[in-house]
Structure 1
């Protein structure tokens, strides 16, 4: 079954120096852009992360420091990456919890104002886990009947993710061939930011989900403890978390005028 698209969707996959969203860097990015008419274009870039790649990470994806020493930095690639994804929804495997948050960090570090408010995100892993609870290699074998060659190669993983999603639509009648439905079905809706430091309460208001103000309304804390905002902004939190908190603070300030 082909995807029913109202706008392009970019399936993407990252290979990185590690799994810390705030600190680790991209060493390879692959993007498969699928258009509503079914046309596709794909791009893969190796990236100089400007930091050492730990041996344990190289052991997973096979990319070493020597292989990226002469590659462009992400800041150099960022305009191309953003131009490719800015008009699109996003899709990936574990993308809501890892790839999108880390990509957002890299774009914000590159001074590109990336904001997911303009896009839907479909996490194929979440759909898979809700339906079958396995890994990408197992998903590819289960849904597509093929072995995933070159697993942990970003390009192979993006193509496999795209094929798995189409096969999921064929297999499960309860899944609608609609990106908005798939984004909602595959989302973890409780968090405002990617990292989960700011969440929604039952009434839909933003609350802190960590620290001494855990469970308290963000608006209320910014009113009674103005220094807390400054502490978060200057501490080692993800850039996207800081962006979300700044937006909430500006909304509160604007309501006073």
Structure 2
């Protein structure tokens, strides 16, 4: 007889891990001149060292970026060129920060952004990149908070949710202090999951849930083809819709540790099946996804659920046109700008246009015979008072023509007017008003650029284009008035003419409606435009129009605005409207 005796062996301290109350965290935040670590510089570093809930020290300094700070960044952060003139350069600041953080676990909100700048500057100055463990409070928040608790994972949102003692304000030390409060609150939340050590905390973010493990079989029958996948509940209701170039691989990823979004993990717990829809090409899959989401409105999809809720800015068709916010594009002689995702955005664009063109702002319909007292806008020189008979249709029509040109072709006058007003407000230290104008200008120019790009395609009755496929064939698409009408794959070595003729003959018949988007939603047309811009795409046929943009269109001004906003250190937002210094765009 053999007797087997199991002897327990106590694990080492390394195996037990480091208790969280014994971990030294250095929570840090940066302000920069832009969003690219390769192209932009650091203007401020703030850091807080904590252990066991106790603050051990703080590190804060402005940094001379060695270049002018873009005006939009100044409006956002309040950091001016004058403030950083006497500040030390990054060559002096970086060693001190690395010493402050030595031996600690680094924590940042959206850590890849901040750590990317630190690593880039280390490379520039010949220092090894920091090898500290890293915790990203964005990832941690997405793991433990549901969409019912918070709508997003922005620092301002989480700080308000957890009632942080410090309000984030786009200054480095204040944002770092707020992140400390968020970190401590999140650590309390993960304690309920049995997370007690640093190693468990880092593994917790990536660990799949029990439901994810249990439902991996749902991906078994999904093919490895391009297409759309639909997660459905027991009643067949669509929970979530997505697309992929490889359906099987993408669906399988939902049941692994790489899927950390709380709402998606919640959705997986409800899902009972995955319905694949195989498509001929990747573009067809992208378009089908948009159409299905708009039709089914799955509750776990956040984007593209309500394409019908867009609004437009309309220059009305009447003797004395005015700017009106509408939800429907009609077959009239009016001019439309949009689409906007909200009435507030449309109102911002309207305010920007009113700054450049003295259109009337009253809402009633006026005729040449209308006579009533003028409002205060006439006294301010912002309206010619057609209501009082001081301006006839010809004189007023010139203003309407200027507005029409700014909406459809050249927004330069709007840009110049707002730029001049921002400069005047900044000189008067009215920084909050300057920030409001900055945001209005950005909304107007970006929307105008988007609409001009969309109209360049929607005005063409038929366009056929092809791109190389992976197997040596060609992906071919027929586009009519900005709508995908047909998609197919031409095999390698096939004669193109008969194949294209057959695809065109079987394509969807598209009857265009009114307005800049006569046959499809903006997102669908933008998908097609991105594909047309991709490498290797060739135009096969363009019938009934010319694919072009206005020579002095909004794209040139949008590039300037995008560069200025590029440094906004926020997740998906240009920043709050706060009393910061503003200067004119250059």
What TM-score, normalized by structure 2, do the two folds share? 0.29
CA positional deviation for 1:184:
3.9
Q: Which runs of 5+ in 1 are unaligned?
A: 188-201, 203-257
The 8 Å contact of residues 26 and 107 in structure 2, kept in 1 or not, is answered as yes
Distance 1:146 1:38 in 2: 15
Structure 1 residue matching 2:20: 3-state secondary structure = coil
CA positional deviation for 1:39:
4.6
* Aligned 1:86-125 pairs, distance under 5 A: 86-95=102-111, 97-116=112-131, 119-125=132-138
Structure 1 residue matching 2:88: 3-state secondary structure = coil
1:159 corresponds to which of 153, 177, 181: 177
CA positional deviation for 1:123:
0.4
1:8 corresponds to which of 21, 24, 27: 24
The 8 Å contact of residues 53 and 184 in structure 2, kept in 1 or not, is answered as no
Larger deviation: 168-177 or 56-65? Answer: 168-177
Matched, 1:137 2:156: yes
Q: Which string of whole-angstrom CA distances, capped at 9 and with x for unpartnered residues, describes residues 76-103 of structure 1?
A: 11221111112111001001x2001111
Distance 1:155 1:109 in 2: 24
Change (3 A) 1:57 1:49: same
Structure 2 residue matching 1:42: 3-state secondary structure = strand
Q: Which runs of 5+ in 2 are unaligned?
A: 1-18, 147-151, 207-252, 254-586
The 8 Å contact of residues 93 and 124 in structure 1, kept in 2 or not, is answered as yes
Structure 2 residue matching 1:18: 3-state secondary structure = coil
Residue equivalent to 2:198? 179
The structure, 1 or 2, with the larger RCO (C-alpha pairs under 8 Å, 6+ apart) is 1
Q: Which string of whole-angstrom CA distances, capped at 9 and with x for unpartnered residues, describes residues 184-218 of structure 1?
A: 4457xxxxxxxxxxxxxx9xxxxxxxxxxxxxxxx
Change (3 A) 1:186 1:112: farther
Q: Which has the larger radius of gyration?
A: 2
Distance 2:168 2:105 in 1: 26
CA positional deviation for 1:4:
1.6
Change (3 A) 1:69 1:141: same
CA positional deviation for 1:147:
7.1
Residue equivalent to 1:32? 48
Give the total of aligned pairs. 182
CA positional deviation for 1:168:
1.5
CA RMSD of aligned residues (A): 2.3
1:80 corresponds to which of 86, 96, 105: 96
Change (3 A) 1:37 1:134: closer
Structure 2 residue matching 1:58: 3-state secondary structure = helix
The 8 Å contact of residues 168 and 178 in structure 2, kept in 1 or not, is answered as no
Distance 2:116 2:69 in 1: 19
Residue equivalent to 1:43? 59
Distance 1:11 1:125 in 2: 13
Distance 1:15 1:9 in 2: 20
Change (3 A) 1:182 1:51: farther
Residue equivalent to 2:188? 170
Distance 2:37 2:82 in 1: 23
The 8 Å contact of residues 123 and 186 in structure 1, kept in 2 or not, is answered as no
The 8 Å contact of residues 98 and 130 in structure 2, kept in 1 or not, is answered as no
Change (3 A) 1:139 1:159: same
CA positional deviation for 1:32:
0.7
The 8 Å contact of residues 30 and 45 in structure 1, kept in 2 or not, is answered as yes
CA positional deviation for 1:38:
3.6
